[in-house]
Structure 1
Amino acid sequence: MNTTGINRYELLVDSVVDYAICLINLDGTIASWNLGCERSTGYSASEVLGKHIAMFYTDEAQAAGEPAAALVTAHDEGRMEAEGWRCRKDGSQYWVNVVLDLVRTPDGMAIGYASVTRDLTERKQADDRLRHSEEQFRLLLQGVGDCAIYMLDPNGFITSWNTGAQRIKGYTREEILGKHLSTFYTLEDRAAGEPQRALGLAASTGRFEAEGWRVRKDGSSFWAHVIIDRITDDDGRHVGFAKVTRDITARRDADAALADAREALFQSQKLEAVGQLTGGVAHDFNNLLMAVIGSLELLEPRLSHDPHALNLLGNALAGARRGAALTKRMLAFARKQELQPTAIDVRVLVHGISSLLQRSAGPTITIDTVFPLTLHHTLVDGNQLELALLNLVMNARDAMPDGGHIIITAKNESIELSGHRTALPPGDYVSLSITDNGQGMDAATLERATEPFFTTKGIGKGTGLGLSMVHGLAEQSGGRLVLRSEAGRGTTAELWLPMAFTEQVAPSRAPEQAAPEAEASSAQSILVVDDDPLIAMTMTAVLNDLGHVTVEANSAQEALEQLSQKTFFDLMITDYAMPVMNGLQLIEEVQARWPDLPIILASGYAELPGGSARDVLRLPKPFGRADLVRVVEAAVAWSASRKTTV
């Protein structure tokens, strides 16, 4: 009966192929071998019976004494379980789970060991792959230095921390684990409940994304792009959050700088467009005013017998001359006025007109000047700078109806790099500042302050061209007008002008202009060239009234024909803006063919490029009788000097 039981047991053991089951003697030699053993190792029973179990261990394990240690543990403790590499007959290795149980007889005597071995190679490989993947993922997260990537528990406490988080936020892993997400928020955001709101949105919607200020360990702030994703387990339970933070301060600053540059470009283009329109309108008005002023001056001696009519004529002339002054301001804004820059000592200039500035400001306003001991000369038109200062002081006066204080200062400034707040190129400048403690301007008013015709004064109290003129002078002189103001906190107008070098002097003008006289000293034959018949007729009438002989030409081509047919002209006066051939082209042609003919260029603004058309006198429009007498006499004097030299 027992023999039959033993045989059945052996049949059962032999039929198990997924487990290697064998009996091992106390000395470690193999006493039995089932089919599972043969399948796992590749050895048949005849090849291993009587052999020591060490034959299945790797060389390293044998050298470390692992086979003997396993037997000792099983003997002493009654059981030994371990995992490790084993060797097959073909030399390949496989990962196994081994259990050795001490076998005893009914009377308790140890007779050997029951060994059960299972091949876990596939599971081992899967575990290794998983561990490798997890390690790679960990290394990936740790290697990301530009992003703070870490985990939060469902309550918002930090459970992991990567290298990028330490670099961006300044905390080490040991310092931050267990701390709450709110650690990185500003005090204002904490008080407003922003951390809780972000976590609540992420928990309810699955994701929260935003930008805002965050705080580093050292207390400094940075602009962050933040993403919080809800994490759920396989059963859909909320187990925490994945948090990704990027420091985008540099990008934000760059975007802001780009937006500022675009706005500055837009403002510049807007002012340029308005300037072109203003300049064109002023030029046309100059022509019209010239006709009006010239005609009125011609009428003046003819109405001397009628005091009432003469008074009306005087009013008309005064109005026309005020219109001419207005167009000069318009041209100043458009940067098309004719400037005569010289090396100016700002301190001397300001002190020279200090009494005028004080009278203009009125008795309720105090004006103080503060200048450094050394101040560079600046290259600017002195007369226009005086007018600009007067405009700025009067603007300051109007902003202080109840009285106040104006401070005029100047200092040397050096711009070494591009991107300066004035947008001026690198170089040396003199900054002239006029500061008042008046009403100031809000942001909207400040933005439009230099636009022509924009004024906050009442109707009839301002043209809106004062600051426009100052802006135009600064731009045309190679400088900049910078306004700083806040409502209720006064205004500072900074007039930045280029420094004048010692070799820079007032530009020479050939020929020298003679002093103005009431009447011409001698009759001249003059060719008048202007494409506007009204202007040509008015100029001809004034010149004829002065005793000169005139011939009109309404185009440059007609003027060349007149000069070719007649050789008795003593002088040519030409407009600049004419179709087909402009005044400058005409002058170049005339100087090439008739080099001794004096030429006067009559222009509404400074279109003539610098350095072109030498020996040409300038006559700014609109001009009056005295201006015409002066420039004609200067031309005659130049012609006479040429003949004497020859």
Structure 2
Amino acid sequence: MNDLEPTSPTRHPAPEGDAVAVRHPADTPPELAFLARAITELSLLPLKADVYRRIGELVREAIGNAVVAVQSYDEADGKLTMRALVGVEGLLDGFLSVMGGHPIGMSFPIHDQARAGLGSGRLIQLSGGIHSLALGVVPRSICHALERLTRLSGTFVIGLCAGSKLVGSVGIIARSKPPVPNSSVIEALARHAALIIHHRQVAAAWQESEARYRLLTEHAADVVWMTDLRLRFTYVSSSVRHLLGYTPGEIMAMPLPQILAPGSLSLVRGILAEEMAREWRTPHDPAYHRVVELEAKRKDGSSLWISVRAEFVRDPEGSPIGILGTTRDVTELRLREEERHLVEARASRCKKVRCLRGMARAIGREIEALPTGPDTPTEPILAYAQTLLGYTSEDKDSREQIDIPSLIEEVLPLIRERVSCSTQLHHARTERLPPVTGHPALLRDALATLAAGLLAAFPAGDTGLQVWSGTRAVDALDLAHFILSESLLPGTHACVEFSVHAPETTTLSADDLFDRLLGNYGTPAIRVANALCILLDHGGALQASLEENGRLSLSLLLPFDLHKREDATEEHPFEAEAPDWSCPSTVLIVDADAGTRWLAQSALEEAGIAALSVDSVAAAVKALRRDTNIAVVLLDSAIAPSGGITAIPELLRARPGVPIVYCSGFGEPAPSETDGIAGLIQKPFLPKVLVRTVRGVLAR
């Protein structure tokens, strides 16, 4: 062996590629000093360094004049692969000419007997020479030529075993006598080298796994994060830049109160306290997690709603040591859900007032049918019956063009008759407006009733009642927040507005305001319900808004272009005369999800577009063959049995040329227009986006 003089035990790592200086006591045997230095060198090798070549160099250093081949072992395919060949510097050209190519990378399948011999970890001398070392893969003629080239004096092999796991082997072609001076040194070096190779393989696999995980987390739309139990961030993926506008470093340096709104922060702290208490009461469930929606703050100061899925990170004993979670933006989903709730609530209120008027009329008819006589208070009974009946078919006012400012002038005296004489009325006169079509007497009494109902629910005090008339432009988003609406479409409409000072309305919901306007019970509620039904019968809508100065405004909108329907046959002349805003073409909605079908159909019908929904491709085909009014198909990408793309040819066979609006899920690739797609929309969609897309397809 070379340079094996003992020194003191101080170690000084050297730069890569240089020998490592290891100091030992003066009486340390040269073999142990060599092993200590060799093992230290291998342990300090960088992960990217060629550990197999360094093992070969150290083995050759221990033996002297020899050719050393180092192989790795792949347990999956049961093969040894040549990774390093040391000691052929002067023989390389001869090796290449004999082998016909470079031996690095050659694979040698091993049989069970060879696997057992290598697994012993002992240095084994091979009687068959290089042919046995190559496990019979290399032809004997080539092996004999290599033996002559290397002047072979002995062939040896030893397995690199980390415990019972074979990670490789070392083949030795000795060129000196004796072939191996000290086999125990080679075996000790092989054992430690195998452990080091195994550790490096584990470290490399871990680094590869971490790199793959980081690649996924850094490119995912969801933000992946970790905190300690004090809610301090320890890791945040880079996708937080798109979500909140901060870099991961900025987020990790920020306290949670700067990221969450106060209400959400209190909720998080309460959930954490609840979950920590739960740890003491129930056994740990590996699948358990919590999902909560929170309000967060972006870097630019704007707010957004996020959905957080979180669970505990645990130590080996199962105790919580941190929190792992994912976060995604659900602002649009919440907006869609809020719009759905608004549509449902508005439909419920419309149904409520119509049911109330229907019940009142039924009672009124019963009262009118009561027998009358000299002892019966006929006039009060008939007057109350007339109140219950509201505006019946006996009101024969013909439809005519109505000038809104002039109508308001006639409404003001009626309001004064129905409210306290001390209430001040302030009318803001406006320029002339385009006329609306309807029943002047019905509208006049309805406006007066609603104004009186507003003052009864919210007394005006010294400020009085403000009355304004003019025009109001509304879009689909405005209509979504109306208290009452059935058929009004976006656009510019006539508007009559009543407003009072009512600061207490800041704590009232839309339903609370509506109930206050109706009154608790009795005749006032019946009068207001009748007035609201007249507004709906005229195609109008009702909106309530609270201004910053505490004034509550009740806006009544009426369309300018209402026309009489010729087929109205209901008892009340206006009851069946709601405006016919329906589109002559029908949209067929094909989606298996009932909620999505409901939302799409409600949004389209709210916008005046006729819609029909089905839950399967088979039902869609039947509808296309049966209904000639279907002009557009709204097709879900995930429709059973095999998806929307597969269903397109079947739909086109049922109705050739029918335009298809394709709804793709989040993250799905959008199909091209050559697939028969006339329009694209991504789920989850906002109702206004759906309406705009469908109208664009219909307009082509």
Whether the aligned pair in 1 keeps the contact of 2:428 and 2:468 (CA below 8 Å) is: yes
Q: Relative to 1, partners in 2 of residues 1:368 and 1:212: Cα closer, same or farther, differing over 3 Å?
A: same
Deviations 1:401-452 (A, max 9, x none): 9665122111112344374433322344211122234798766763335659
Whether the aligned pair in 2 keeps the contact of 1:142 and 1:164 (CA below 8 Å) is: yes
Q: CA deviation at 1:370?
A: 0.8
User: Unpaired segments of 5 or more residues in structure 1?
Assistant: 1-8, 62-87, 99-113, 297-311, 456-461, 509-575, 577-583, 585-602, 611-646
Work out whether 1:257 is the aligned partner of 2:339: yes
User: What is the letter of the counterpart of residue 387 of structure 2?
Assistant: L
Q: Relative to 1, partners in 2 of residues 1:430 and 1:420: Cα closer, same or farther, differing over 3 Å?
A: farther
**Residue of 544, 548, 560 corresponding to 1:499:** 560
Q: Relative to 1, partners in 2 of residues 1:264 and 1:338: Cα closer, same or farther, differing over 3 Å?
A: farther
Distance 2:415 2:56 in 1: 113
Q: Relative to 1, partners in 2 of residues 1:135 and 1:259: Cα closer, same or farther, differing over 3 Å?
A: same
Distance 1:200 1:227 in 2: 16
Q: CA deviation at 1:213?
A: 1.9
Work out whether 1:409 is the aligned partner of 2:491: no
Q: CA deviation at 1:387?
A: 1.9
Deviations 1:226-248 (A, max 9, x none): 34433344466765432322322
User: What is the letter of the counterpart of residue 525 of structure 2?
Assistant: G
Higher relative contact order (CA 8 A, sep 6+): 1
Work out whether 1:166 is the aligned partner of 2:241: yes
- Residues 1-400 of structure 1 correspond to what in structure 2 (within 5 A)? 31-32=65-66, 52=90, 118=190, 120=194, 125-145=201-221, 147-153=222-228, 155-187=230-262, 194-195=268-269, 198=272, 201=275, 205=279, 209-234=291-316, 240-286=322-368, 288=369, 318-319=379-380, 321-323=382-384, 325-329=386-390, 331=392, 340-352=398-410, 354-355=412-413, 357-358=415-416, 361=419, 363-395=421-453, 398=456, 400=459
3-state SS of 1:266 partner: helix
Matched residue, 1:446? 513
Q: Relative to 1, partners in 2 of residues 1:366 and 1:428: Cα closer, same or farther, differing over 3 Å?
A: same
Whether the aligned pair in 1 keeps the contact of 2:465 and 2:498 (CA below 8 Å) is: yes
Whether the aligned pair in 2 keeps the contact of 1:431 and 1:496 (CA below 8 Å) is: yes
User: What is the letter of the counterpart of residue 347 of structure 1?
Assistant: P
User: Unpaired segments of 5 or more residues in structure 2?
Assistant: 1-29, 35-51, 74-78, 105-132, 139-159, 161-166, 171-184, 578-700
Matched residue, 2:493? 429
Distance 1:23 1:437 in 2: 96
Deviations 1:376-402 (A, max 9, x none): 222221112222233345445656496
Q: CA deviation at 1:474?
A: 0.7
Matched residue, 2:540? 479
Computing the radius of gyration over CA atoms, which structure comes out larger, 1 or 2? Answer: 1
Distance 1:362 1:196 in 2: 51
Deviations 1:266-323 (A, max 9, x none): 333333333333333444545x27x85xxx8xxxxxxxxxxxxxxx79x956436524
3-state SS of 2:525 partner: coil
Q: Relative to 1, partners in 2 of residues 1:484 and 1:338: Cα closer, same or farther, differing over 3 Å?
A: farther
User: What is the letter of the counterpart of residue 271 of structure 1?
Assistant: V
Q: CA deviation at 1:175?
A: 2.7
3-state SS of 2:235 partner: coil
Matched residue, 2:665? none
Distance 2:206 2:306 in 1: 34
Task: State the identity as a percent.
Answer: 14
3-state SS of 2:424 partner: strand
Distance 1:391 1:48 in 2: 104
Deviations 1:487-506 (A, max 9, x none): x96754332222158xx8x9
Distance 1:393 1:33 in 2: 106
Distance 1:337 1:357 in 2: 21
Over aligned residue pairs, what C-alpha RMSD do you find?
Answer: 5.5
Q: CA deviation at 1:607?
A: 8.8
Distance 2:385 2:470 in 1: 34
TM-score calculated relative to the size of structure 1: 0.51
Distance 2:445 2:499 in 1: 17
Aligned residues: 420
Whether the aligned pair in 1 keeps the contact of 2:537 and 2:575 (CA below 8 Å) is: no
Distance 1:219 1:494 in 2: 33
Q: Relative to 1, partners in 2 of residues 1:32 and 1:199: Cα closer, same or farther, differing over 3 Å?
A: farther
